[in-house]
């Protein structure tokens, strides 16, 4: 197994950095609890620029096809269109009711243009999480329940496989997907971690799954057969998500978090790290649906 080290790319100082995406030659990510969307130019390290700040948590975004600067967002208690001026147009807020306070968390688009996003209880209450799918007609549906802290998902390049982490359970599930309908088949357990929690994930062009392991200070690569064949060590204990990008797609960007750490132990936690790898990723998939005008 190959092991390498990630280097600090930007100090950033994020509380809960997540959801990095390589979009149109730049790195885009969120700081969840501050509700902030940020970006940085291309391969060059430097200060992140906030492009939107919301009054609610911002779990993840994906670009909207053909509409530069617009995003579909897992935010607060639902899914919304986020326009360049920060206006949210809600497609649905399904997690606002119920006895356990919940918020949206990680999310991504599949190759067919559907947006998938999970929710979790604010206190991580077991079984309170769920996974939602936003179809290309804007319809928002719950497709899984009984999760605790869903992260990801990540899709194979042809959209026939979905990986979904339940961080609190220390496992990554693998689902067959009907690429036409988006229907899920029965899952199998793909990865179990015992020394940390699987968090954000991404798939490269060869079908390998890269998994950030919160608490272990690592990003691990698994072959399509589930073999752990590479580790990238991150000098921060709480890596949250990987993203493959850069000029040729072989630069691994890793977001991290300060959340829950004593200030004296922050170090570079909350920064963004980078490592060169041997397999490129693919550009972030865009939402391909028809959305209402912002307002």
Catalytic residue among 106, 110, 199, 204: 199
Place of tokens 């590479």: 230
For CA atoms 56, 118, 213, 281, give the dihedral sign. negative
Residue 103 annotated in ligand binding: yes
Residue 18 annotated in ligand binding: yes
Residue 233 annotated in ligand binding: no
Residue 105 annotated in ligand binding: yes
Q: How far apart are CA 90 and CA 75, in angstroms?
A: 10
Half-sphere exposure of 290 (CA within 13 A, CB side): 1
* Residue 199 annotated in active site: yes
Count Cβ neighbours within 10 Å for each residue of 256-276 and write b for 16 or more, e otherwise.
bbbbeeeeeeeebbbbbbbbe
Residue 123 annotated in ligand binding: yes
The binding site for substrate consists of 103, 105, 123
The binding site consists of 18, 103, 105, 123, 151, 199
Catalytic residues: 199
The binding site for a divalent metal cation consists of 18, 151, 199
């Amino acid at each position: 197994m190959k092991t390498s080290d990630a280097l600090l790319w930007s100090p950033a100082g994020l509380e809960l950095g997540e959801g990095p995406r390589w979009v149109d030659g730049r790195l885009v990510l969120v700081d969840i609890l501050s509700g902030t969307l940020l970006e940085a130019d291309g391969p060059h390290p430097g200060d992140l620029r906030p492009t939107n700040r919301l009054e609610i948590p911002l779990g993840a975004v994906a670009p909207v096809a053909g509409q530069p600067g617009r995003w579909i967002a897992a935010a607060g208690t639902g899914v919304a269109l986020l326009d360049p001026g920060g206006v949210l147009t809600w497609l649905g807020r399904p997690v606002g009711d119920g006895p356990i306070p919940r918020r949206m968390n990680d999310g991504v688009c599949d190759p067919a243009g559907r947006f998938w996003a999970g929710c979790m209880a604010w206190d991580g209450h077991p079984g309170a999480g769920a996974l939602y799918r936003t179809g290309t007609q804007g319809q928002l549906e719950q497709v899984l329940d009984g999760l605790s802290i869903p992260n990801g998902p990540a899709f194979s390049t042809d959209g026939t496989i979905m990986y979904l982490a339940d961080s609190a359970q220390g496992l990554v599930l693998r689902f067959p997907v009907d690429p036409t309908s988006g229907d899920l088949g029965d899952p199998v357990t793909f990865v179990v971690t015992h020394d940390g929690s699987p968090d954000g994930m991404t798939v490269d062009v060869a079908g390998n799954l890269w998994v950030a392991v919160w608490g272990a200070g690592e990003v691990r690569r698994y072959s399509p057969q589930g073999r752990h064949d590479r580790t990238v060590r991150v000098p921060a204990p709480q890596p949250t998500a990987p993203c493959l990008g850069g000029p040729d797609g072989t630069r691994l960007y890793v977001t991290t978090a300060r959340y829950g750490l004593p200030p004296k132990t922050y170090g570079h936690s909350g920064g963004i790290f980078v490592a060169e790898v041997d397999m490129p990723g693919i550009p972030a998939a865009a939402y391909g649906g028809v959305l209402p005008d912002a307002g």
